[in-house]
């Protein structure tokens, strides 16, 4: 038996909390590069898509190309939601509003944010959760209808005139023409005319949201961020293999 064997073993010290914390920090440091790479990419893409939405609105306001550009008003903000989530989408909508406020003034900026900025967030949330088209189109139609009434209210306040009366006059002419074609010998009441105006606005937004879904379905698939599949009859109508 040697002298070294007779010596008592050295006591093993328990790891202290400081050493445990340092090891945890070292492990987190190994995982942090991904976060450090994603953060600038998220910020750059959000800023780029927010400026794209603002540019589409800006071009359509001064150089209107019919309904072509209008279809893509909410799509960039919805794409931000699909790629980076809810917080980035809200940041994109706010950034678009601020940029348009600088370029075109606060009034036109608000007319974009309500409803198209909010609509982009709404559509992104519904597409991200893979809800059916009927749900996302209905929710978007309700928001778009509220946006029309917001626009009428804001412009009426700024102009000092009730623009709702102008809408009622247009709907009255349409209603009287329909009554004449149907040979209904009656004068439409005010309630019927106002109800017809609301239905006409809602129907217009319904068609708009359907076209937006079609454009997003064809475009975002090619960008690697597909939205939920449309109903079967739409796929057959478009002759598109989803």
Is residue 73 a contact partner of residue 116, using CB atoms and an 8 Å limit? yes
Q: Determine the topology of domain 38-238 in CATH.
A: Arp2/3 complex 21 kDa subunit ARPC3 (1.10.1760)
> What's the confidence (pLDDT) of residue 27?
53
Is residue 171 a contact partner of residue 204, using CB atoms and an 8 Å limit? no
> pTM of the entire structure?
0.81
> What's the confidence (pLDDT) of residue 94?
95
| pLDDT tens, N- to C-terminus, the chain (242 residues) | 444 454 445 444 455 545 545 555 545 544 444 445 578 888 999 999 999 999 999 999 988 877 889 999 999 999 999 999 999 999 999 999 999 999 999 999 999 999 999 999 999 999 999 999 999 999 999 999 999 999 999 999 998 888 898 888 888 888 888 878 777 777 778 888 889 899 999 999 999 999 999 999 999 988 889 999 998 888 888 775 54
Is residue 155 a contact partner of residue 163, using CB atoms and an 8 Å limit? yes
> Hey, is 128 helix, strand or coil?
helix
Residues sharing a CB contact under 8 Å with residue 53, sequence separation 6 or more, in sequence order:
73, 74, 75, 76, 77, 92, 96, 112, 116, 117, 120
Is residue 99 a contact partner of residue 80, using CB atoms and an 8 Å limit? no
Domain boundaries, the chain: 38-238
SS3 content of the chain, % helix, strand, coil (to 5): 80, 0, 20
């Amino acid at each position: 038996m040697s002298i070294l064997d007779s010596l008592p073993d050295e006591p093993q010290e328990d790891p202290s909390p400081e050493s445990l914390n340092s090891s945890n920090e070292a492990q987190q440091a190994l995982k942090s590069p991904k976060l450090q790479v994603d953060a600038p990419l998220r910020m750059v893409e959000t800023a780029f898509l927010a400026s794209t939405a603002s540019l589409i609105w800006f071009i359509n306001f001064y150089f209107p190309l019919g309904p072509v550009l209008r279809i893509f008003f909410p799509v960039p903000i919805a794409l931000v939601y699909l790629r980076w989530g809810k917080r980035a989408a809200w940041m994109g909508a706010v950034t678009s509003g601020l940029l348009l406020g600088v370029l075109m003034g606060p009034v036109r900026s608000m007319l974009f944010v309500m409803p198209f900025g909010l609509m982009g967030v709404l559509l992104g949330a519904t597409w991200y959760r893979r809800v059916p088209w009927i749900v996302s189109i209905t929710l978007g139609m309700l928001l778009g209808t509220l946006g029309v009434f917001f626009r009428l209210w804001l412009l009426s306040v700024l102009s000092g005139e009730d623009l709702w009366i102008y809408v009622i006059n247009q709907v009255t002419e349409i209603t009287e023409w329909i009554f004449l074609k149907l040979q209904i010998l009656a004068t439409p009441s005010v309630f019927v005319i106002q109800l017809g105006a609301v239905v006409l606005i809602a129907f217009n937004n319904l068609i708009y949201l359907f076209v937006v879904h079609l454009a997003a379905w064809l475009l975002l698939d090619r960008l690697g961020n597909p939205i939920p599949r449309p109903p079967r009859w739409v796929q057959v109508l478009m002759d598109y293999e989803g």
